[in-house]
């Protein structure tokens, strides 16, 4: 039977049903076991992944590319898409989508404009995966975050999760809050007022019955949390550099903060970090952010294989 995700675009976290999320988690775990045991996978043999990155990326692009290679497929990549592709000549993403479908079997796009992945997907008949659209969504990050919580904690249901930092501009927390809302968590949203979670996201979650406490007191939140999901102040989304300078140091996770945290706190971060997690925290056993980055590989392997029907 064909996968329920076959042929689908992955554009937003809230498009995914509980069954689809469970299938992605199970498939990622299966692929991770095979790779860990030194096995070779050939699911994507003869297939091509195109990566179109119009914004900087290290982890997302490299983990998608290695995911495809580990599935036996091949990768076409436009790294500096903004300056080196026909976007610089004014081509629309819709037209790029029309063209890309004859070059590749699946595509990943990262772009500074909200809705850009959807525009590419509207033009392309092949599955399109959103690798981050401006301050919009980053669904594959949310999926690897969920996978990480499952591995670190063994469950999600009943956990208290603090999302902290730039909740206004951070696409990772927009996607992650939507994904976790379906998994029985309660939230603290910790941000300075100028970087608060967009009101429509908070209202939408509350309408679904999700318990959310909004505060600017990080220490208070971590005293009651199982997970701290820290984020970077998104400098590239600020029109006014002085406003960024004012807000960039809003929160720093350090040893002093950890002393006030609930025992067993797991600390996550989508990376890159700037200075919001002190390096002294890296030695703490609950510091999961580098393990989290590694989990991007099996989760993206699962996504590539599922949307192309090669799982
Ligand atoms: C995030 C992003 O690009 O939104 N990075 C990532 O994909 N791991 C987070 C960030 O840039 O702050």
Contact 130, 49 (CB under 8 A): no
pLDDT of 179-221, one tens digit each? Answer: 999 999 999 999 999 999 999 999 999 999 999 999 999 999 9
Residue 11 Rama label (left phi>0; alpha psi -120 to 50; beta): alpha
**What length is written for the chain?**
311
Q: For residue 55, report the distance from its CA to the centre of ligand 1, in Å.
A: 10
What ligand 1 atom has the least distance to the C-alpha of 296? 8
- Which pLDDT value is given to residue 56? 84
Rounded distance between C-alpha atoms, residue 107 and residue 103, angstroms? 10
For a mutational test of ligand 1's pocket, the pick from 109, 270, 289, 290, i.e. the residue with the most ligand atoms closer than 8 A to its C-beta, is 270
Tokens of 31: 């692929």
**pLDDT tens for residues 98-136?**
999 999 999 999 999 999 999 999 999 999 999 999 999
Q: Do the beta carbons of residue 73 and residue 45 sit within 8 Å?
A: yes
Return mean pLDDT, the chain. Answer: 95
3-state SS, one letter per residue, for 39-96: CCCCCCCCCEEEEEECCCCCHHHHHHHHHHHHCCCEEEEECCHHHHCHHHHCCCHHHH
Per-residue burial over 66-93, b if 16 or more Cβ lie within 10 Å, else e, is ebbebbebebeebeebbeebebeeeeeb
Q: Which residue's CA is minimally distant from atom 8 of ligand 1?
A: 270
What's the confidence (pLDDT) of residue 128?
Answer: 98
CA angle 178, 161, 179 (to 5 degrees): 15
Q: What is the pLDDT of residue 22?
A: 97
Cα(50)–Cα(146) distance, integer angstroms: 25
Query: Residue 136 Cα, ligand 1 centroid: separation in angstroms?
Result: 12
Digit-coded pLDDT (tens) for 7-64: 999 999 999 999 999 999 999 999 999 999 988 899 999 999 999 999 988 899 999 9
Instruction: Return the pLDDT at 39.
Output: 85
State whether residue 133 is helix, strand or coil: strand
Is 136 near ligand 1, meaning CB less than 6 Å away? no
Reduced to 3 states, what is the DSSP secondary structure of residue 23? helix
Distance CA(128)–CA(69), nearest Å, equals 18
Beta bridge partners of 52: 78, 109
Ligand 1 pocket test, pick from 54, 111, 271 with the greatest ligand atom count within 8 Å of Cβ, gives: 271
The alpha carbon of 148 and the centre of ligand 1 are apart by a number of angstroms equal to: 16
Order of strands, sheet of 74-78, starting from the edge strand that comes earlier in the sequence: 74-78, 48-53, 106-111, 128-133
How far apart are alpha carbons 198 and 210 in whole angstroms? 16
Q: Which residue has the tokens 């495809």?
A: 68
Pairwise CA distance, residues 265 & 262, whole Å? 6
Q: How far is CA 195 from CA 29, 105, 169, in A?
A: 35, 38, 7
Residue 30: count other Cβ atoms within 10 Å of its Cβ: 16
Q: What is the pLDDT of residues 258-294, one digit of tens each?
A: 999 999 999 999 999 999 999 999 999 999 999 999 9
- Residue written as tokens 């959807």? 118
- pLDDT score at 1: 60
């Amino acid at each position: 039977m064909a996968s329920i995700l076959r042929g689908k675009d992955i554009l937003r976290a809230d498009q995914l049903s509980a069954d689809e999320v469970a299938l992605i988690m199970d498939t990622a775990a299966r692929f991770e076991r095979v790779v860990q045991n030194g096995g070779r996978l050939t699911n994507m043999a003869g297939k091509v992944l195109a990566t179109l990155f119009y914004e900087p990326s290290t982890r997302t692009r490299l983990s998608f590319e290695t995911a495809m290679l580990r599935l036996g497929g091949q990768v076409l990549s436009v790294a500096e898409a903004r300056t080196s592709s026909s976007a610089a000549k004014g081509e629309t993403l819709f037209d790029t989508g029309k063209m890309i479908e004859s070059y590749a079997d699946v595509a990943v796009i990262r772009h500074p404009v909200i809705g850009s992945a959807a525009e590419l997907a509207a033009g392309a008949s092949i599955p399109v995966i959103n690798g981050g659209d401006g301050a919009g969504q980053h669904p594959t990050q949310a999926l690897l975050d969920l996978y990480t919580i499952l591995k670190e904690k063994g469950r999600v249901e009943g956990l208290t999760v603090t999302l902290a930092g730039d909740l206004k501009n951070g696409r990772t927390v927009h996607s992650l809050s939507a994904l976790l809302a379906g998994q029985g968590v309660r939230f603290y949203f910790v941000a300075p007022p100028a970087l608060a979670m967009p009101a429509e996201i908070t209202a939408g979650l509350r309408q679904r019955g999700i318990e959310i406490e909004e505060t600017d007191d990080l220490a208070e939140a971590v005293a009651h949390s199982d997970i701290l999901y820290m984020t970077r102040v998104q400098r590239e989304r600020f029109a006014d550099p002085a406003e960024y300078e004012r807000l960039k140091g809003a929160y720093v996770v350090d040893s002093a903060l950890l002393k006030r945290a609930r025992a067993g706190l797991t600390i996550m971060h989508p990376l890159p970090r700037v200075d919001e997690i002190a390096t002294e925290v890296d030695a703490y056993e609950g510091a999961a952010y580098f393990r989290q980055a590694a989990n991007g590989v099996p989760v993206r392997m699962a996504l590539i294989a599922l949307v192309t029907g090669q799982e």
